[in-house]
Amino acid sequence: MNRFAFNGDINKLKTEKFDVVIIGSGIAGLYTALNLDNKLSVAVLSKESSMICSSWLAQGGIAVVTNSSDDETYHIKDTLVAGAGLCDLEAVITLVNKGPNEINRLIGMGVSFDVKDDGNLETTREGGHSMNRILHSGGDATGKELTKKLAFLATKSENLTLRADIFLVDILTYNNKAFGVIIFEDEYKLILSSNIVICTGGIGQVYKYTTNPTVSTGDGVATASRAGAILSDMEFVQFHPTAFYDENVKGQSFLISEALRGEGAILRDINGAKFMQGIHPLADLAPRDIVARAIVAQMKKTDAPNVLLDITHKGEGFLKDRFPTIYEECKNRGINISKEYIPVVPVQHYMMGGIKTNLNAMTNIDGLYACGESACTGVHGANRLASNSLLECIVFGRLCAEHIMKKKRQTPKIDLNLVYYNTEKKLSKINISEIKAKIKEIMSEKGGIIRSTNKLAQGIDELYDIINLLNNILLQNPSQIETLNMAQTASFILIAAYNRNESVGAHFREN
């Protein structure tokens, strides 16, 4: 693997300097930025706007213990069970114990969570949870509401510089310490900083069907790996059981939140028969990996491209109020969910693995941090418990900010020629669209919900061919580097899946 995606004279790049550089403007990136000392100069850089990120699309909510009928030990247990025993216990305890304080901090920042008539926080239940503990904002628009509020606060913070349409190219290190990044913003540029935080979100666009936005191409994971960061648990890719089935979908599928099943929605096969009873004690509220595989089995049994989700027992008024986004989107697609079943199918949704971090969100490289979906804190293990992801963003975003302030790193003066090198490469005409489509096809066929040794091996070989092609030509623009990132990230997933022989959590080996 080539160390750098950029190939040119680094000494000729326009240069800026910040105390902290955060790559990504979703909830993880924004919350980290807002918890930093306002005396620090902070750049929050995003591939597109805050509206184009997984945080914005998060329908579910935030799982946290906020009422007396629940207990933190239950939340910890539910997380460990969903993670198939492969979670890092200390990380899970940290997540659950610190969660309530971060919710109070969000409320103090002006975030409005949905409340009951008596004024207390309204809590609901989702798959894998033994208690009602999911907080929502705006019904089924929690991620959107949080992102909007945090983005607004960030624009009011004088020490924060928010810039969109910026592509992360490389992370610079010296003696295992991060000291800057190469970015593309109309042209290649260099930003010096001893505190780099990767909050680039998921990897869903390496698959043909995903709930992730178009920006989720694994850029943070691939770039950090090229810099020497350790990756972990890359085989554990979560497929959400219920995305709206549309045979013509391209790029991004519409998510049908697990919260519907939390409100009593029932999965039925194409003929209308229930099928989750007897498969798991929680039936339709079983952990996502179990539900996704059950749906695939039912589709195969009935020779159908989808199954059905039935929430018609709920009134139209309730559904409009509780699930306004889903109700309207399904209506636009010709389905009145108060009267008709929703056609659904499993699609890629979330990466449990990623850039390995400690409890302070720091990687094995001093000064390089990762938060949110691009990080692997160890919280999720082999399968993420519903609505733990937004909690992870805020808990570890806060811990990341605290650690940066504690360390007080200063950007050293370094001879760039000691840490960066370019190589002689030739221009070559390549069809980026075809290569991206090939990566997606490989991953959907060979790295999906059910995997086999032979297909994983074939997929790895095919991806290596793509990587070798891209490594040996001059990559001229972000789209070409993004394609390299996709191929590298996809290969990390398949290699990790190949090396784990046993089936566990979201990783299922048929042989």
In this predicted model, what pLDDT tens digit does every residue of 184-225 receive, in sequence order? Answer: 999 999 999 999 999 999 999 999 999 999 999 999 999 999
What pLDDT score does 138 carry?
A: 86
Q: What is the pLDDT of residues 50-98, one digit of tens each?
A: 566 666 666 668 999 998 889 999 999 999 999 999 999 999 999 999 9
Which pair of tokens denotes residue 208?
């043909």
CATH 3.90.700.10 domain range(s) in the chain: 243-347
Least confident span in 58-67, 150-159, 352-361, 388-397: 58-67
Spatial separation of the C-alpha atoms in residues 361 and 22, rounded to whole Å? 13
Place of tokens 């996809």: 490
Find out whether 475 and 481 touch, Cβ atoms under 8 Å. Answer: yes
333 is catalytic: no
CB 504 within 8 A of CB 237: no
pLDDT tens per residue, range 457-511: 999 999 999 999 999 999 999 999 999 999 999 999 999 999 999 999 999 998 7
pLDDT at 375 over 90: yes
Residues of the chain with pLDDT > 70, as a percent, come to: 98
CA neighbor of 440 nearest in space, from 204, 222, 220, 240: 204
> At residue 72, what is the residue type?
E
Taking the model in full, what pTM does it have?
0.93
Model confidence band, residue 259 (pLDDT cutoffs 50, 70, 90): confident
Q: Does domain 10-236+352-407 have CATH number 1.20.1250.20?
A: no
Task: Specify the pLDDT at position 50.
Answer: 58
Model confidence pLDDT, tens digit, residues 332-367:
999 999 999 999 999 999 999 999 999 999 999 999
Q: Where in the chain is the domain with CATH 3.50.50.60?
A: 10-236+352-407
Choosing from 125, 226, 261, 288, which is the catalytic residue? 288
pLDDT value at position 428? 85
Strand locations in 99-166, DSSP E? 123-124, 134-135, 160-163
- Phi, psi angles (nearest 5°) of residue 334: 90, 15
Q: In Å, what is the CA distance from 248 to each residue of 215, 251, 412, 475?
A: 20, 10, 52, 32
Domain with CATH 1.20.58.100 in the chain: 421-499
CATH fold group of domain 243-347: Flavocytochrome C3; Chain A, domain 1 (3.90.700)
Alpha-carbon span 437 to 206, nearest angstrom: 9
pLDDT at res. 248: 84
Q: Which CATH class is domain 421-499?
A: mainly alpha
